[in-house]
Chain A
Amino acid sequence: MLNYTIRRLLFTIPTLLFISLIIFLLLDLAPSDPTGNLPLSIPAEVREQIRQSLGLGEPIHIRYYKWLVQFFINEPLNIIEQMFDITIGDGDRLRVTSWSTRSPVVDLVLERMPQTLWVVGMSYVVGVLIAIPIGVYSAYRQYSWFDQTGTFISMVGFSVPTFFTGVLLIVIFSTIVPTDSFFWLPSIYDTTHKVTDLASFGFQIRQMIMPVFVLGLFNAAQISRYMRASMLDNLGLDYVRTARAKGLTENVVLLVHVLRNSLIPVVTVIALGIPQVFGGAIITEQVFKVNGLGHLLIGGIEAADIPLVQTLTFIFAVLIVFFNLIADILYGILDPRIRYD
């Protein structure tokens, strides 16, 4: 297992390098101009100088190399320095700076990270918590009305795009429901809101309900299907009959024996889904105006802020690769039948 883990870890290095190259080349070869948004009154030679000052005069492989160094060596060192308040080396490294705000990209990302983590993380937890009981019960009572309804709702859940459910909820709870009603919910997520007492905590809950629900429903729809299928696979196996024959209660059979075994593939599915949730959150963040990572990405794209977009896209890629790794290793740890060596 250790051997496998190490091999798997080593394989992520070329994967990440390849993805970074694709992202770098895609952004670099594309016909876009970072000075395109500047006033037209700027003369051509000044424009050229601006481009040079942004480092665009160098050949492509040197820029790629420098970007890699910045991303993989400089920025992690900077984060460590900030976290522990120490200085490593000379402490004055070239940083990845955003073209539109002129501040280091990593600072922008760190600033936006908590909002995304709160909303996305919460919705994923909610989704999983809804999905597992539904999946278990649907499988246990296969083809009952509960199962049929569950199947239908989950079908609706992943067919209806989050930007429609989100907008629909806003229409219902923010515009049709009167503002002074108890059921009124704010349609815009206020990031500056600070929880200090019970009332502000209540407001925080209220403003999180809609985004969390929208994303949570979407996640629950997918996970509950996997949970149901996996439970069904296990319910027919011999060990379940043995457990029942021993005279164990139905609860113990279902929740201890079958559930634990059926969770194995579901756990990996959950791990694999996390990076996709970050991607899907781009839309939800846009609907509810949560200024998280997705919002930052859209802003960067609109302003043609290439370093920012490069970094964010690459962070999403790193998340995917990282959680794929976690899922693979978890699968081996949880299920001794699947050891890769």
Chain B
Amino acid sequence: MTDIAAQTKIEDIKPPRSQWFDVWAQFKTHRGAVIGMWFFIFITLLVVIGPYLWTLDANFIDIRAKNQGPSLAHPMGTDQLGRDAFSQVLAGGQVSLSVGVVAMLLALFLGTLVGILAGYFKRIDGLLMRFTDLFLALPLLPLLLVMVMLFRDSLRGLFGPETGIFILIVFAIGITSWMNTARIVRGEVLALKEQEFVLAARSIGTPPYRMILRHILPNVMSPIMVSATLGIANAIITESALSFLGLGFPSDFPTWGRLLFDSTNFMTLSPERVIYPGLAISLTVLSVNYMGDGLRDALDPRIRGR
């Protein structure tokens, strides 16, 4: 008899919930964040799968069909060379999103590296943080423009026109936007270092690299994830700004910023062409920012579970 009682008791206990389950439960309560997440997934799927369904080539020139308004054949109209605006927005989205994600990953890697090194090793803390401060004092947009101007031609020569400029822009955005991540991560690491489990791990002789990878890094994941979402938004805006100023991708290589820049010349003729790429940038960035907002709330243990 006692056996059965014990059995039912065990079945009553819910399976242990993981931390990520709690985070997800909190994230779901933030309406904007959930809408943002679905929209971001939607737009990602659209630009990834879209070109396979909408097979018109973004660079196919049909000069007889130039400057058309929206129609069934061209839902967003055509541009001054008769290229289909819809497939251009799709192709532009691929570039803009991949620049955003890759630049964010680079910035995140640099920021986490600097932050963990500065927080963990006291000896280089001062030096690395002064270095971060100096980077924060740099005028970023002018420097980005200068970097693009200076290295555009040589990188194009090395890697071809498209890959070259992609590498340049990703690299330029990455090395100019790691500073905030570094500062936040350093703060977290400094707080973590004082905790008992770190002391325990050190007392059994854990070498620093395993200490960082096994014990520190998993515990600073939450600020890193928040920085990641904000980093994507920042990178997309920066890339579009560069393209908008004419210093981004070449004009036969559509990105959202470039499409916006190109269509400003035809504003009186076809004002709606300005709207689509601009709306795409704005909505993507808005959804990513909302996601970041919800994620920050969800990952904050003071808010979670209330």
Contact = CB atoms under 8 A, between A and B. Distances in A.
B27 to A, nearest CB: 17
Contact of B289 (A159, A164, A280, A302): A159
A283 B245 contact: yes
Contacts of A87: none
Contacts of A302: 149, 246
Given A161-B241, A168-B274, A317-B137, A156 B146 contact: no
B101 interface: no
A167 B143 CA distance: 24
Interface in B250-278: 257, 260, 264, 267-268, 271, 274-275, 278
B286 interface: yes
Interface in A152-207: 155-156, 158-161, 163-164, 167-168, 170-171, 174-176
Contacts of A156: 282, 286
B206 interface: no
15 contacts: A19-B137, A19-B138, A159-B289, A161-B281, A163-B260, A163-B278, A168-B278, A171-B274, A175-B268, A175-B271, A279-B141, A279-B142, A287-B264, A298-B245, A317-B138
A321 B134 CA distance: 9
Ranked 4 nearest A-B pairs via Cβ: A30-B150, A316-B139, A164-B278, A159-B286
Contacts of A283: 141, 241, 244-245
Interface stretch (A21-29, A118-126, A239-247): A21-29
B140 interface: yes
Interface of A: 15, 18-19, 22-23, 26-27, 30-32, 155-156, 158-161, 163-164, 167-168, 170-171, 174-176, 275, 279-280, 282-283, 286-287, 297-298, 301-302, 304, 309, 312-313, 316-317, 319-321, 324
A338 B139 CA distance: 28
Nearest to B157: A31
A175 B265 CA distance: 12
A321 B281 CA distance: 31
The secondary structure that dominates the A interface is helix
Given A32-B149, A297-B145, A313-B139, 18 more contacts: A15-B134, A18-B134, A26-B147, A31-B154, A32-B153, A159-B282, A159-B285, A160-B282, A167-B278, A171-B267, A175-B271, A282-B142, A283-B241, A283-B244, A298-B246, A302-B149, A320-B137, A320-B138
